[in-house]
Amino acid sequence: MRLTFEQTQLSKIADALHKAGARAILVGGAVRDLVMGTTLKDFDVEVYSLDSLDTLEALLKPFGSVSQVGKSFGVVKLHSNGEEYDFSLPRTEEKTGRGHRGFDVTVNGSLDFATAARRRDFTINAMGLDIQSGEIIDPYGGLQDIQNGMLRHIDDATFIEDPLRIYRAMQFAARFGFRVAPETAALCKEMVREGMLEELPKERVYAEWKKLLLKAPKPSVGFELMREWGITERYFPQLHALICCPQDPKWHPEGDVWIHTMMSVDAMQQLLDVHQEHPMYEKQRLKLLFAELCHDLGKPVTTTIEFESGEVRAWKEILSQNPFPDLHNVKRVRSTGHERAGIEPTRDLLYRLTDEHDFIESILPLVEHHLKPSQFYAQGAKAGAIRRLATKVNIEELVLVAKADFLGRTTPEAQQGEYAAGEWLLKEAQRLQVKDEPLKPLILGRDLIALGMRPSPHFKTILDDVYEKQMDGTIGTKKDALAYIRSHFHTFLTS
């Protein structure tokens, strides 16, 4: 197989290197993406048959700004014609300590490609493309694995040197729809059992979770691998508790809370990809996907089961006595208050991944109020309730979370794909001008001062009272608000 670069800047650089007796080979994910027909974003080039990094830098200087950003790793960064390229000399790595920095690196321009590529994780990432000739160099069968939809590691000894590759396997399988080779899955399971993931800083783990959630058409594929390989049980008990947690089949014929959550996360991904008129910022997408993942984390601690005999027992109590309980003769399953109960496990789960406090706090209201659209629709909620809801959570985001929750099940209504409660709430919120922000207060502190009041702790009481009346609809204009204040708080007026 051959792939050609037209007369691009990269091909011109490759020609110059060739004249100097060197060979420029595009490596890593860039080659994989070219073969799979996806957009090429990163340009990582290994240069063979050069004696030093200084020689490489000298050859690149005519093409732009050059800097040695990773001298110990044999890396030179080139900025040229608005593009950024990483050029490196081939290298081998030897594990010498814990963590992703615990490696001894040997740079050697005379290495052959197969030897240099052995340190990479998967066959699909170990291909090279000779930029000048267009030849694909494929020492480990990456092309065949792409054709077969298979994710396969290269070498046991090098793979285990960086345990993050377990998470990379998870997110690659989900992103590309690949099966994980049996020998790779077995190695990942063994690494988890051996506790190898414990050396990973959470920042690196979080980066792989983000790729899974933001780039995979069905993030559930990655989470299922985490479950199968023992990752959820050992490191994310908040998620693992969803497995086998029962639900009332009337509302959730699809199965337990884990199955429902996986379906809901996939539904959210589809909603974000298909039904958004305007693309969201990555952070907002991530917030909504995490909210969907966490929306039912409160169910394991609130679920109760009513048996045909009339006995009612808590799920956590049943599970503590028997990890494989007999759930025959179940009359009803309830999870009363699971929305509020989900706040702490959501916070705990997310802090295992990141210390971004404000981001985590922005997710919690979506978890706490995810049933409100359906409840408000069923109750025919009044304007005041909708306005108050808007002060606690972004209603447009909340409807997305609630809709994905609704679609993540196998009821006939969900399979029709229309969420009437969400459409109703969005229309009402739009009419009340609170769809994407709370109601703006008619009166501020400066208005009280203009009335002749002196600043005091009573300002908050007055402003809160007026705002409550405004949300109820009993005060609709600033003129009405000022008249109300003069009538009810005249003792605070100085003139």
Mean pLDDT per 10-residue segment, the chain (495 residues): 66 92 93 88 89 90 85 80 88 63 69 92 96 94 97 96 97 97 98 96 97 97 98 98 95 96 97 69 95 98 94 93 87 96 98 97 98 97 97 97 97 93 97 95 94 91 95 94 92 71
436-442 CB contacts, 8 Å cutoff, 24+ apart: 436/394, 436/395, 436/396, 437/390, 437/394, 438/387, 438/390, 438/391, 439/387, 439/390, 439/391, 439/467, 439/470, 439/471, 441/466, 441/467, 441/470, 442/466, 442/470, 442/475, 442/477, 442/478, 442/481
Q: What is the DSSP string of 435-450?
A: SSSPPPPS--HHHHHH
pLDDT in the model for residue 327: 84
Say which CATH superfamily domain 9-141 falls into.
Beta Polymerase, domain 2 (3.30.460.10)
Residues 76/57, Cβ–Cβ less than 8 Å:
yes
95-130 residue pLDDT tens:
555 655 555 677 787 899 999 999 999 999 999 999
Sheet holding 330-334, edge to edge: 312-314, 304-307, 330-334
**DSSP-based three-state secondary structure for 352:** coil
pLDDT in the model for residue 167: 98
Q: 70, exposed or middle or buried, with CB in 10 Å at 0-12, 13-18, 19+?
A: middle
Q: Which residues contact 393 (CB under 8 A, 6 or more apart)?
A: 365, 366, 368, 369, 372
Question: In the numeric block, which tokens belong to residue 289?
Answer: 């996907």
DSSP bridge pairs for 129: 26, 136
**Amino acid at residue number 175:** R
CATH entry 1.10.110.30 includes domain 163-235? yes
The domain ranges of the chain are 9-141, 163-235, 240-431, 445-492
